[in-house]
Amino acid sequence: MNLSKYSSIRSLSVVAVSAVLGGLLLGGCKKSFLEPDPLSFFEPTTTFTTEPGLRAALAICDRHLRSYWTNTSSNTNSVVIGTEYMMSDVAVYGKSDVDGNNVNFNFADGLTPTGGAGGPGGNDGNYINHYWDETYNGIKYANTILTYADRVAGLNETTKNLYKGSAYFHRAYRYLALVFQYGNVPLITKIIEVPKLNYKSTKKAAILEMITKDMELAVEWVPEQKNMTQVGSVNKGACRMLLAKCYLATGQWQKAKDQLDIIINQSGYSLMQNTFGTFYPGGEARTWNVTRNVIWDLHRCENKLIPANTEVIMGMPNRGAQSNIAFATMRIFGPLYNSGNLKAPDGINGLDLYARNSSNYRADLDFGRALGRGIGTIRPTPFAEHALWNVNGVEDSIDLRHNGASGNWVNMTSLRYITNTTSYRGQNLVLRHPTTNALLCADTIRSWFNWPHYKLFITDVVAEAALGTNAYQGASTGSVADWYLYRLAEAYLLRAEAKFYLGDATAKDDVNEIRKRAKCGQLYTSNVTIGDIMDERARELYLEEWRRTELCRVSHCLALSGKPDEWGNVYSVDTYDKASGTDLAGGSYWYKRVVLRGGLYNIGGVNSNNRLLNYKIDKRNLLWPIPNDVITANNRGVLFQNYGYPGYNAATAMWDKWEDAVADEDKTN
């Protein structure tokens, strides 16, 4: 495959471009969000007033998207996208070797404007501050293009609008996330050339209105993927997807459906129904056999962006020696089964992993290579393991996304004892002793759970080349780790959501299209609830959607619509995001899903590994706190702090109209 086609592997030096962009307003973190850094030796008015300069800036925007799934640090114990899952209904923090009151267990008490929000530097838990910093970095990169595009001499209108439309996409993508992570935030739409320390927050509704208008232009200006030479850049299909989400967030249900109709019926995309591309059988087929199937092929990184894949709308290339970013999916999201926490019934450690050059090695028991050596940083909730897969009262085990016989899904009892000194070597794992019923796993949070192998497996190139290692983690240097940003399956589920708000009974048909492709045994036969739609999103889009942010967006949409959730609750747009406490009265749809579906939060703690893990979440955690250092750096203005956190003041002045916020950007101090 010709890697020159991929936007994140363009020939222009990423390091040089990063140096240029890093000097502009909204630098990476903390106080620099509010003031310009000294410019590097590059001169922006020279660099970005040429088309190569715009191309470079757009390449950085495209590449930057990956920072929300992966990170650029050397830490392989956690990953950015994990934060979106550990504060959702489908996953929680799993590192039970730390204090059970750690903020990553107890967000209710530990997440404040001054603490509890981690970052990329060696952090094994949440990346909340990283989201703030990197999202504003992405906005900075997009604003660079929008600031300079009109200054490029000789650029025809069509080409200029392509750059501007792509930049609108990148800015809107980030602001849509910001308003559902943080609520009312500062709106910045241009590169500011002098310090500004008197920002006000702009109301969420105003930001949503602005980015919706921007995306309407982007849909006009950005070409279809079939008319583009590069893969991984913004295309019209991606713009329609984002515009549809903007329409949903602003209560324009029919307009959202119209955009999704075009994507599904008129844009040349189609769901992959059969096996395709190259079959990659996994790490060690003699240990873990995968029967080739469409779901497995669809989620092989090597197949995600190939021309034969008619389902991908926009993906994120992650490959090549210089462009690759490590993505330790198997390590972070897989169970810690080789730690000694799992005993065979004879009392011997059951799963000692052996390297291929060890005399104790057996190719039929190489689970480390076949499934990865996990550490359980993030683990699925009991709901995600079991009840999520119930449709019509039946656990659909033939659903290819939950199917162990195909090799896609791993049940712990399908693993076998490895250690050469146990008499149970080669036999299947059991959780309890066959005669005494004693628990054989000391840590059932971190070391015993089922998981979707087809989503986590990535060939670890570095480990494959080292016969003396037993640490297979996921994408390493040289691995192919391409990831989906948008694919057609999500378009069907977004259209089902729009139809739900419209009262259209055919919403179930869109959900069933996804289920049919997964060869499910159960289909929805009556009107679907918003819960059914969100369940299907969880089944289909694990580690693709920003799960928590999507739940927060749907919380807002439900409140706008007046439609009930699956329990019959109806929400008010004026109050759903203004609640605190850990009881079940009031609050948002997000909170109800996390507590009622997830099953681990707010139940008084969970005992595992001789620790009480105090999983606790508050209704106020629907929105994350605005970082205190950002508030204090803005010392000539007042930013709005979210409900329930120290510093909240309902009377804080904010911009009601995005036009007023934009006009104020040029007014300093």
SS3 607: strand
Distance CA 493, CA 536 (A): 8
Q: At CA 143, angle to CA 140 and CA 147, rounded to 5? A: 135
Half-sphere exposure of 157 toward its Cβ, with a 13 Å CA cutoff?
1
Total-model pTM: 0.94
Per-residue DSSP letter, 613: E
Report the Cα–Cα distance between both ends of the chain, in Å, rounded. Answer: 53
At residue 46, the pLDDT reads 65
Main-chain phi, psi angles of 628, to 5 degrees? -65, -35
At residue 44, the pLDDT reads 60
Q: At CA 326, angle to CA 324 and CA 328, rounded to 5? A: 145
In this structure, what token pair is assigned to residue 27?
Answer: 């630098």
At a CB cut-off of 8 Å and minimum separation 6, what does 643 contact? Answer: 577, 578, 579, 580, 620, 623
At residue 167, what is the residue type?
Answer: A
Distance CA 111, CA 168 (A): 32
Q: Provide DSSP, 98-119.
A: S-TTSTTTBHHHH-BTTBS---
C-alpha torsion sign, points 486, 491, 496, 502:
positive
In this structure, what token pair is assigned to residue 331?
Answer: 């390590």
Burial of residue 156 (CB within 10 Å: 0-12, 13-18, 19+) is: exposed
As a residue count, the chain comes to: 669
Q: What is the largest CA-CA distance in the chain?
A: 82
Distance CA 459, CA 281 (A): 10
Name the nearest CA neighbour of 79 among 110, 120, 111: 120
Name the nearest CA neighbour of 393 among 489, 525, 499: 525
Low-confidence ranges of the chain (pLDDT < 70): 1-46, 72-74, 119-123, 322, 669
Distance CA 601, CA 619 (A): 12
Name the nearest CA neighbour of 487 among 227, 171, 258, 264: 264
In this structure, what token pair is assigned to residue 301?
Answer: 């990184």
At a CB cut-off of 8 Å and minimum separation 6, what does 340 contact? Answer: 349, 442
At residue 120, the pLDDT reads 57
Distance CA 95, CA 362 (A): 29
Buried b (16+ CB within 10 A) or exposed e, 71-100: bebebbebbbbbbbbbbbbbbbbbbbeeeb
Main-chain phi, psi angles of 262, to 5 degrees? -65, -45
Mean pLDDT of the residues in the chain: 91
Distance CA 89, CA 545 (A): 13
Half-sphere exposure of 544 toward its Cβ, with a 13 Å CA cutoff?
26
Q: Could you tell me if 416 and 371 are in contact, meaning their C-beta atoms sit under 8 angstroms apart?
A: no
Buried b (16+ CB within 10 A) or exposed e, 425-456: beeebbeeeeeeeeebbbbbbbbbbbbbbbbb
At residue 400, the pLDDT reads 98
At residue 645, the pLDDT reads 98
